Structure 1
Amino acid sequence: MLNKPLILSLSLSALLLAGCSTTHYISIDPKVEVQTTNLKNDRVIDVSTHTALTNTVGSIKTGINERADIFLTNDIKESVKQSVLTGLKTLGFTPDQGVMPAADLQIDIIKMRYTTKVESLKTIATLEFELKTTLSAKGQTYKANYGSKKTREYGTMPYQQDVEDDMNDLASQTVNRLLSDPNILSLLQ
């Protein structure tokens, strides 16, 4: 007959060595932080968003063998579009009013990534968010990329809310960079 404490001890050891696996579900909703101004547009401003990204944002693997996959739960195209429209209105623009042809602001969400690497027992996370824009207005075309990147260090698995807050912070910084570009603002007026 086997010793019950030995079996229990071996079972617990196997569980610890196997690590824990979980899933983090996050929602990206960039917050606009621009000053209210009185900018005006003569033309309608048509904002469109596109992405080839899936709802997989990345994964976390810690030094103590914890693992979490990160998935997006909302429509990133729609949330970025609404954030940009909110920002344009805060700046004084009225995107749905004006003459035609419209100023065409195309936004491609080209990077939204959360990756980790382990050094000893420390987990180093790299977070990235990037937009590529093309604005056609006043007979001109202006192209620009806006990106944000940050690193975080963890000893254990970060909470889902922390991951969501960090990714939203990056998305917000990136959208605000777009809305602060003097070339974009000039062509939209």
Structure 2
Amino acid sequence: MLKTRLLLPLSFATLLLAGCTTTHYIQIEPTASIKKEQLQNDRAIQVTTNTQLGNHIGAIKTGLNERADIFTTNDVKESVNKSIINGLTQLGFTPDQGVYPPAELNVVITKMSYTTKAKNLKTTATLDFQLAATVKAKGQTYKANFGSQKVEEYGTLPYQSTVQEDMNDLASKTVSRLLSDQNIITLLKE
């Protein structure tokens, strides 16, 4: 009986120290949060989005020796592009209509990462999402960088849905910042 009582906690402790490894598959689908306006464009607006980043955005390592690699499962540049076009439409622009050659809004996803540091049993996660934008319109060129960062703390491995929600929130804030830049708005409107 005494051996059984000692063996059970020891087995649990060994299992706890062994940790677990998993993979989180998430979709990045930002939604711009901007107020509707009645802006108009004279020129068509061509939006392009690119990235050199792969679909592995990071890994979680907790103080309990849990680990999860994080991968995106969708085409992030396509979803960012769609979000920007939807945001422009909310502002009142009609990107697919107007005089040619079009005004150009080129966006590059420069950073999309989820990194962690564990100290004792507390894990600190740093999430980053950054965009670089170049607008060419009215004979002018304007360049700007937009980024968002979030720091989270936890003790155990977060759920896949939590990681996806946090990364989408960050991407949405970054796209919203881009669409709120008055220099970009001025170059795109008539």
Q: Do they superpose with TM above 0.5? A: yes
Kindly state the Cα deviation for residue 10 of structure 1 after the two structures are TM-superposed. 6.9
CA–CA distance in structure 1, aligned partners of residues 120 and 185 of structure 2: 47
The residue number in structure 2 matching 1:38 is 38
- Residue pairs, 1:85-100, within 5 angstroms: 85-100=85-100
- Where does residue 154 of structure 2 map in the other structure? 154
Letter in 2 for 1:150: K
Deviation digits for residues 122-143 of structure 1 (CA, Å, limit 9, x no counterpart): 0000000000010000000000
Match of 1:141 in 2: 141
Shift of residue 36, structure 1, vs aligned partner: 1.0
User: AA paired with 1:48?
Assistant: T
**Structure 1 residue ranges, 4+ long, deviating more than 4 angstroms after superposition:** 3-14
The root-mean-square deviation of aligned C-alpha atoms, in Å, is: 1.7
TM-superposed deviation, 1:6: 8.8
Paired position in structure 2 for 1:112: 112
- Counterpart of 1:81? 81
Partner of 1:149, secondary structure, is strand
Letter in 1 for 2:48: S
Aligned to 1:169: 169
TM-score of the superposed pair, with normalisation by structure 2: 0.93
Distance 1:158 1:98 in 2: 47
Q: Deviations over 1:82-102 (max 9, x none)?
A: 000000000000000000111
Provide the secondary structure at the position in 2 that maps to 1:147. Answer: strand
- CA drift of 1:35 comes to 1.0
Paired positions, count: 187
- What is the percent sequence identity of the aligned residues? 61
Long gaps (5+) in structure 2: none
